[in-house]
Amino acid sequence: MAKTTAKDSLSVYREIMKELKAGEFKPCYLLMGEEPYYVDQIASYIAENALKEEEKAFNQMVLYAQDVTPAMIVDNARRYPVMAPRQVIIVKEAQQLKGLDLLASYFRNINPSCVLVLCFMGKSADKRTEFWKSAAKHCRILESVPLRDYEIPDWITSYLKEKGTSIEPQAARLLADFLGTDLHRIVMELDKLFILLPQGTWAVTTDMVEKSVGINREFSPFALFKHITDGDFAKVQPIAEYFADNEKKFPLVMIISLFYTQLSRILKLHSLRMENPGSSPDKLRELMGLNYYFFRETMQASRYFTFQRTIRAVDLLCTYDSLYKSSDRGEAGDGELLMEMICKMMA
């Protein structure tokens, strides 16, 4: 079985949401994976829309795995609805259930008037079990794979496009750098952004993002890394000092993580060049799976960060990540460690 990708997860999520909005409710949903956003969205939609408000009192149950057994879930699922077209049972934290194979026998003789939603949070079901084999035949399954750092800007762009709004590539990148890969947090900030947008606005700009989220493109980790790749220490120094004065907002571990993402991308580009000598930029971009904007940025950065310099920079990140977490770093604060790391990176 091919490994599920973040792209696959998004595609299945959209298919399921389209079915639900059309009033198509399956007898069983197995929602699982490390990315909780899609799991929560589907479960919440079913809870809010599968039944009318007056039908929920007798026909909707939200169970927690630590409080029930698979036998109890099956007993409830075999009941018939009371004056409603269906009943809904949502089981949260289902990864904690013991004896899941009992549910496999239920799937083979499923109650069509029950919508059973099993929410595995933070992990997927064991695909070697009878439970999984039976679920794969009889349940609607979503395996929610987390996005990688470099996939977040495109996800933000896609999310806003679905809402009829576009966003500048640099604005999407600024949001991604600042918010990380937590889709719940990203959506919360994007929804807040919608509230603040002037009426009739159809494009989100970098200025809007700065005002909404409270970040400054001139003093962002993205800008800091850009000036490092330009070899411009005069512009690097004030940003590093600003981060040192605002350690809570810009902790060293966050900056190290963002730098690692950028350097990993550059290292991948160098590796692809070595593996595919003579390849055109378009071919390299295709192999990297990046859009034009981010590929161009990586190409420019690779001129400063040669293969050897990139390897050395990644090693420095590992060293200073250990120092950040160590009690043996002496009196050096985060700001001092950051400046020291950057000076060595640019040496």
From the list 153, 154, 89, 98, the residue with the least C-alpha distance to 129 is 98
Q: Are 73 and 116 in contact (CB under 8 A)?
A: yes
pLDDT per position as a tens digit, 129-143: 999 999 999 999 999
From the list 177, 171, 125, 174, the residue with the least C-alpha distance to 149 is 177
- pLDDT reading at 267 higher than 80: yes
Question: What is the model's pLDDT at position 214?
Answer: 64
Percentage of the residues of the chain whose pLDDT score is greater than 90: 48
Three-state SS string over 265-278 comes to HHHHHHHHHHHCCC
- pLDDT reading at 306 higher than 90: yes
CA 63 to chain centre: 26
CA atoms within 13 A on the CB side of 243: 27
Q: Are 104 and 130 in contact (CB under 8 A)?
A: yes
pLDDT per position as a tens digit, 34-72: 999 999 999 999 999 999 999 999 999 999 999 999 999
Amino acid at 99: G
Question: Domains of the chain (ranges plus CATH)?
Answer: 6-144 (3.40.50.300), 149-215 (1.10.8.60), 218-346 (1.20.272.10)
- pLDDT reading at 1 higher than 60: no
DSSP three-state, residue 30: strand
Which two tokens mark 104? 């496999």
CA 67 to chain centre: 29
Q: Are 155 and 136 in contact (CB under 8 A)?
A: no
The enclosing H or E element of 72 equals helix 70-77
Q: Are 34 and 122 in contact (CB under 8 A)?
A: yes
Strands (E), the chain: 28-33, 60-64, 87-92, 114-119, 140-144, 166-167, 203-204
Which two tokens mark 216? 């400054």
DSSP three-state, residue 276: coil
- The rounded distance, in Å, linking the Cα atoms of 165 and 264 is 31
139 Cβ contact list (under 8 Å, min separation 6): 26, 27, 28, 29, 30, 107, 118
Q: pLDDT confidence of 173, banded at 50, 70, 90?
A: confident
| Beta-ladder partners of 167 | 204
Question: What is the model's pLDDT at position 246?
Answer: 77
What pTM, to 2 d.p., does this model score? Answer: 0.70
Entry field: residues in the chain: 347
pLDDT per position as a tens digit, 210-238: 776 666 666 777 788 888 998 888 888 88
- pLDDT reading at 185 higher than 70: yes
Question: What is the model's pLDDT at position 15?
Answer: 96
Q: Are 225 and 258 in contact (CB under 8 A)?
A: yes
Q: For residue 105, how many other CB atoms are within 10 A of its CB?
A: 13
From the list 320, 168, 169, the residue with the least C-alpha distance to 240 is 320
> Tokens 């409270």, residue?
214
